[in-house]
Amino acid sequence: MDTIILADWLSARLDRTAAEPTYRQMLELMQQAILTGQLAPGTKLPSSRTLAIDLGIARNTVLHVYDQLTAEGYVNSTTGSGTYVADTAPRDGVAKKAKTEESKAPCTISRRGERLIAQAGVSPKQWGAFMPGVPDVAEFPARTWSRLQARLWKRASPDLLTYAPGGGYRPLRRALSDYLRVARSVKCQPDQIIITTGIHQSIDLAVRLLTDFGDRAWVEEPCYWGVRSVLQSSGLTLVPIPVDEEGLNPTPRDMVEAPRIALVTPSHQYPLGMVMSLARRRALLEFARQHKVWIIEDDYDSEFRYGSRPLSSLQGLDDAGQVIYVGSLGKMLYPGLRMGYMVVPEALVETFRLGVAELYREGQLMQQAVLTEFILDGHLTSHVRRMRGLYGERRELLINAIRARFGDTLAVRGDEAGLHFVLELPHFADDRAVTADALAAGVVTRPLIHYFMNHDKALRGLMLGYACVPNADIAPNFDKLADVIERALTPMHTPMPTPLAQA
């Protein structure tokens, strides 16, 4: 590239009417000229006085620019002998090597990154009828929370404002272990609790600490896509294991090659909603013990059961120390809180305490302290109890709306617990198309097929969340959705069969 006459080159480019100061413009122009070689290494720059006169600007401005260029290594200046363009080109060896390895292909993202992005399922809308898995955040006792928070901030001790010691705020770990022992029959001491930013992070941490790239991971078929993403992006090979009415149901063939890790939702299978039977729990634990498999028990929403009491946790039955129990406060309080916990076997406490600190450099102790007070003052229990009543009503209103419109022709699955259920559609229905049309009509839902790895054998249906929909909005919104469903179920231009026609 030709070497330029600096004053002329700058003069042609400086915009004296621009809002950007001359100093900034000049600095950027000179940096660009040096990087592109228009000002070649070794070129002597004019003195600040000469350049200032040639450009008709204050000498101080030029001195300022030269100082900054020197500080950033673009030029070298030696008192008395002047300012020279520095040699910033990559060293010979590096440049040559790079040239030979250069290909036409652009710099790419990783294969696991590609897989992650390709199957991403996060919804642009996180609220409203019938967003699955979201609690009614408008009902969150914000005043109580802010009172506790204000009290803690008044005497904010440095301890609460630093990084969290591995594992999280000790009093919170104690409060959670008391809660889990009683409510979920989890066998744990406070040390075994590790506070995380939610189930996603808990699983990410467990996978990084317990598995190696390429290991096999059993996941339920169908399962929560978010967890699948975490496992896949860690380079695990996912093996989908079908579920039936009793939960995870591996075939003898599945069991020939044991996985390194198995991820299950025994309290409330996600998304179909069944509870894993005691026999299956014992079989899974025995298989895991014999083949040294880690089990992750995802207990994401078992606080919300509307009929029977939930079975005790799988972790409570584990004598081999191979179950990692993970839970979240997102559904009990609000998802944006991003707080969850894991209960790790005693032998892994130190590994996980160090792991969580090294990987994520945990903080949020103030938030954890607020939550501790919230729990100890009894607000968590009373909020969950109140929400259980409210969500129970909403669930019933939605089921009534379904029955009013479709009678018994469409089955509802997994409605005994949680914040959502599945409305099954006939196999010929395209649940993805229904979801897209529903969104256009202003109603959010998720297609069941989305949760299956093997689409050929996928059930068709819609995930309907009712928890975040005010009672009065349930029937009108379901009517909008029902119109979309009816269109999808009606053979082209033929009259609708009963009982759909009665709608």
Ligand X SMILES: Cc1ncc(COP(=O)(O)O)c(C=O)c1O
Q: How far apart (Å, rounded) are the C-alpha atoms in residues 320 and 493?
A: 61
Is residue 200 within the footprint of ligand X (CB under 6 A)?
yes
Task: Encode 417-439 in three state secondary structure.
Answer: ECCEEEEEECCCCCHHHHHHHHH
The type of residue at 459 is L
Which residue's CB is nearer to ligand X, number 200 or number 405?
200
Task: Work out how close the CB of 339 gets to ligand X at its nearest, in angstroms, rounded to a whole number.
Answer: 8
231 in Cβ contact with 218 (< 8 Å):
no
Q: How far apart (Å, rounded) are the C-alpha atoms in residues 90 and 36?
A: 13
Which residue's CB is nearer to ligand X, number 139 or number 479?
139
315 in Cβ contact with 265 (< 8 Å):
no
Which residue's CB is nearer to ligand X, number 298 or number 429?
298
For 317, other C-beta atoms within 10 Å of its C-beta total 17
Is residue 273 within the footprint of ligand X (CB under 6 A)?
no
Residue linked to tokens 């302290």: 369
Residue linked to tokens 């198309």: 433
Is residue 222 within the footprint of ligand X (CB under 6 A)?
no
The beta strands (E) that lie in 28-100 are given as 75-78, 82-85
Residue 289: both structure tokens together: 């013990």
- Enumerate residues 6+ apart whose C-beta is below 8 A from 114: none
Which residue's CB is nearer to ligand X, number 202 or number 322?
202
Q: Where are the alpha helices (DSSP H) in 345-430?
A: 349-360, 365-376, 379-406
Task: Work out how close the CB of 173 gets to ligand X at its nearest, in angstroms, rounded to a whole number.
Answer: 17
Which residue's CB is nearer to ligand X, number 61 or number 267?
267
Applying CB under 6 A, the span of 197-205, 211-219, 313-321, 483-491 interacting with ligand X comes to 197-205
Instruction: Write the DSSP symbol of residue 194.
Output: E
Which residue's CB is nearer to ligand X, number 263 or number 397?
263
Strands 323-328 and 294-298, how do they pair? parallel
- The residue count for binding ligand X (CB under 6 A) is 15
Q: How far apart (Å, rounded) are the C-alpha atoms in residues 176 and 296?
A: 18
Which residue's CB is nearer to ligand X, number 259 or number 465?
465
366 in Cβ contact with 161 (< 8 Å):
yes
> Quick one: which of 121, 152, 188, 123 has its CA closest to 364?
152
Which residues within the stretch 131-170 sit at the binding site for ligand X (CB under 6 A)? 133
Applying CB under 6 A, the span of 194-202, 213-221, 437-445, 459-467 interacting with ligand X comes to 194-202
Is residue 330 within the footprint of ligand X (CB under 6 A)?
yes
From candidates 130, 145, 224, 341, binder to ligand X by CB under 6 A: 224
Task: Work out how close the CB of 393 gets to ligand X at its nearest, in angstroms, rounded to a whole number.
Answer: 21
Is residue 298 within the footprint of ligand X (CB under 6 A)?
yes
Which strand ranges, in their side-by-side order, compose the sheet holding 460-465?
Answer: 412-413, 420-425, 460-465, 446-447
Which residue's CB is nearer to ligand X, number 11 or number 119?
119
Applying CB under 6 A, the span of 153-161, 181-189, 193-201, 480-488 interacting with ligand X comes to 193-201
> Quick one: which of 449, 448, 438, 431 has its CA closest to 484?
438
From candidates 232, 234, 265, 313, binder to ligand X by CB under 6 A: 265
User: b/e per residue, 28-46, with b = 16+ CB within 10 A?
Assistant: ebbbebbeeebbeeebebb
Which residue's CB is nearer to ligand X, number 145 or number 225?
225
Task: Work out how close the CB of 243 gets to ligand X at its nearest, in angstroms, rounded to a whole number.
Answer: 13
Applying CB under 6 A, the span of 171-179, 196-204, 383-391, 423-431 interacting with ligand X comes to 196-204
Residues listed for the chain? 503
Which residue minimizes CB distance to ligand X?
A: 198
Is residue 269 within the footprint of ligand X (CB under 6 A)?
no
The type of residue at 199 is I
Which residue's CB is nearer to ligand X, number 297 or number 406?
297
From candidates 167, 335, 414, 447, binder to ligand X by CB under 6 A: 335
Task: Work out how close the CB of 420 gets to ligand X at its nearest, in angstroms, rounded to a whole number.
Answer: 9
- Residue 11, CB-side half-sphere exposure with 13 Å CA sphere: 12
260 in Cβ contact with 238 (< 8 Å):
no
Residue linked to tokens 């006085």: 49
Is residue 328 within the footprint of ligand X (CB under 6 A)?
yes
465 forms beta bridges with 130, 420
Task: Work out how close the CB of 151 gets to ligand X at its nearest, in angstroms, rounded to a whole number.
Answer: 27
Applying CB under 6 A, the span of 150-158, 198-206, 424-432, 434-442 interacting with ligand X comes to 198-206
Which residue's CB is nearer to ligand X, number 220 or number 431?
220
Task: Work out how close the CB of 326 gets to ligand X at its nearest, in angstroms, rounded to a whole number.
Answer: 8
From candidates 180, 199, 276, 371, binder to ligand X by CB under 6 A: 199
Q: Which residues bind ligand X (CB under 6 A)?
A: 133, 198-200, 224, 226-227, 265, 270, 298, 300, 328, 330, 335, 340
